Structures are given as structure tokens and as C-alpha cells.
Amino acid sequence: MKAWIALLLSWLIPGSGFMLYGKWARGATHLVVIGVTFGLGLALHSSVAWPVWSIRSPSFNLINNFTFITQMGGGLPAIASFIASSDPGIVADSLLGRFVGQPSHFNYELGSYFLIIAGALNYFAVGNFYDRFIHPRMTLPQSGESQTAKEA
């Protein structure tokens, strides 16, 4: 499989890259950890929302732009949440309706942190997958090695 397809899959479905290379336990762990965190964010009535990108707009807020970019790291669930929150009326009766957030809800901001963390963790996981299987330029230090090196 081509590297960019594996990386794309790894982003869309957290942990899938590791599973493709036979690391089932590691991939499944990433999937569960990121999936549960994203799910908790949705349960707190949050969603991935499209920010204002024009710097001239009065409602422009750079934090919202970074939040969006990080939340989109969640892959397919993030895309689903983004589509659902773009037009909640259309998706209300479908499966996507479960991904619609309620910006007026008191837990919306807290849930947003869960989505940010889920997205960031998937970016880390994709980066780790790249380092281990696509372009392994260096070996990862094992626990205690750096301490041993300092002592030596």
C-alpha cells in the first residue's frame, strides 16, 4: 500500500495505520482512546464548528481557527460532526443528527476541549505511525535509556 493512502486511512480511522501493519493491539488502543474521548465531547453537546477565516471580519478569532484545525484531527467522526453542525436541520433525523452540537448548552465549551484533545491525540498517532513504519529514520528511545546515558 502506498504511504500516503496509509497515512490518510490512519487519520480517517484512528489507529487503522497500525492495524494495517499488523500492530492490532496498538491500533485498537488508539481507536478506543481517541474514539471514547471524541464521543465524550459529543455527549457534552459539543461539535466541530466552521470558524470565521477572514481576518477583517469583526467576529474573527484566531483561537477558533486553531481549535477547528486541531479538532479536525479526529478524522471521520470530526468530518461527520463538521457536516452535521453545518446544517443541523437537514441531518436532524439521520445518523448524522447525533453529531450535532448545541452551542448554547453550558457544557459546549468543555466538550470542545474533549474534541480538541481527541484530534490532537490522533495527529500524534499519525505522526507516530509515520515515524515507525513509513519513514523510520531513528529508533525510539526505550524507557530508562536516556537516564542510563546520563549516568554513563
Partner 1 sequence: MTPQGIVYLSSIFYLTGVICFSISLNENEAVGTILRETVRRWIKFLILTAIIGGIVLLASL
9: contact with partner 1 by CB under 8 A: no
Stretch that binds partner 1, among 4-12, 53-61, 81-89, 120-128 (CB under 8 A): 120-128
80 C-beta neighbours (distance < 10 Å), count = 20
Please identify which residue in 107, 108, 130, 134 interacts with partner 1, judged by CB under 8 A.
Answer: 107
By CB under 8 A, name the one of 143, 149, 150, 152 that touches partner 1. Answer: 143
Q: How far is the CB of 128 from partner 1 (least distance, A)?
A: 4
Query: CA–CA separation, 110 vs 126, rounded Å?
Result: 25
| DSSP state letter for 73 | G
**Set of cell numbers at residue 147:** 537516564
Minimum distance of partner 1 from residue 140's CB (angstroms): 6
Give the C-alpha separation, 71 to 81, whole Å: 10
How far is residue 100's CA from residue 120's CA, in Å, rounded to a whole number?
A: 21
Minimum CB–partner distance for residue 10 and partner 1 (Å): 13
> What is d(CA 81, CA 88) in angstroms, rounded to the nearest whole number?
10
3-state class (DSSP) for residue 46: coil
Residues in 45-104 at the binding interface with partner 1, rule: CB under 8 A: none
Distance from C-alpha of 47 to C-alpha of 99, rounded to nearest angstrom: 7
* Residue of 11, 117, 119, 133 interacting with partner 1 (CB under 8 A): 117
Question: Smallest distance from the beta carbon of 33 to partner 1, in angstroms?
Answer: 6
Residue ranges that bind partner 1, judged by CB under 8 A: 26, 29-30, 33, 37, 40, 106-107, 110, 113-114, 117, 121, 124-125, 128, 140-143
